Homo-oligomer: A and B are copies of this chain.
Amino acid sequence: MSFEPVVLFFVLGAAAGLLRSDLKIPGSIYEALSIFILLAIGLKGGVELAKHPIGDLLVDGLVIVLMGALIPLVAFPVLRYLGHMSRADSASIAAHYGSVSVVTFSVGITLLGQEKLAFEGYLIVFLVLLEMPALVLGVILARYGQGTVRWGKLLHEVFFGKSIYLLAGGLVIGYVAGADGIQPLDKLFFDLFKGVLALFLLEMGLVASTRIAALREYGVFLALFAVLMPIFSATLGVVTGWMLDFSVGGTFLLATLFASASYIAAPAAMRIAVPEANPALSIGASLGMTFPFNIFLGIPIYLWMARLIHAGGG
């Protein structure tokens, strides 16, 4: 099975947390690492986007957003009726799983690099597109027929929250400047990318180790959900990618994107828009379970799935 050494840094961080080491990544360093990763991914996407006529991507984009919207719409009733969770919690968790994780996506990209598989570079645009609708859907699910929503505040949070803002901003700069214009920045944003990702995963391991406990309290149902939901979403992604005639690499990345759950943009947005939802539940599931599941087991499985459908379809 495909193995990517960078995930060992996640293990190192998680072990530090579980063994109660005093290792800590200062908050400001964590902020800097995430600004770096978001900008770098955005720039890369923008440079790729500049190589394609945007019109061609409109149909793909629409299909992907609509398919992606299915994820929270499936997750919500599962959580609410199978899991007997409160309306707010179900909606908030559904929003987390409908939204996406940039770091999971990045681990997917490094795996493709290692496997020497090409992918449609403009897929990064969909990373930006997919982050938003799930958050809006989550709020609608929580509030439908239940009083008013401060939509202004929420939409502002969704569009100008730093994670989407930096991704989109990097995309625009990369698009405007093009590969040549960005080239002097390559040494920082592209050459160091994987090393920075390693440090980020170290921190993710540290944080995830404190979240697993929170998850344990809420029982088996949520843990199962945190493993089965991404497999379902990845399947949806594989089928969508295949329908859209993506390469194996592109199909795999779309599956990874669908399977990933947000733990940066979604928690902040939900805390403001659906404050009665318990953040320990949603972050515990997405960061404590789904994230490690995805980077260790999910990603190799999704690559296998993408290869399978292309082998069958070809």
A residues sitting closer than 8 Å to B (CB atoms) are 5-6, 8-9, 12, 15-16, 19-29, 31-32, 35, 110, 113, 156-157, 160-162, 165-166, 169, 172-173, 176-177, 181-182, 184-185, 187-189, 191-192, 194-196, 198-199, 268
Contact = CB atoms under 8 A, between A and B. Distances in A.
A225 to B, nearest CB: 29
Contacts of A6: 184-185
Given A23-B165, A26-B28, A28-B29, 20 more contacts: A5-B185, A12-B173, A16-B160, A16-B162, A16-B165, A21-B160, A21-B162, A21-B165, A22-B157, A22-B162, A24-B31, A25-B35, A26-B27, A26-B31, A184-B194, A185-B198, A187-B191, A187-B192, A187-B195, A192-B192
Q: Chain A interface mostly helix, strand, loop or mixed? A: helix
Contact of A177 (B5, B15, B199): B5
B166 A23 contact: yes
Nearest to A38: B23
Among all A-B residue pairs, the 10 with the closest Cβ atoms: A188-B195, A26-B28, A5-B177, A5-B181, A21-B160, A23-B162, A12-B169, A184-B194, A187-B191, A28-B28
A220 B188 CA distance: 40
A309 to B, nearest CB: 28
A8 B24 CA distance: 30
Nearest to A170: B12
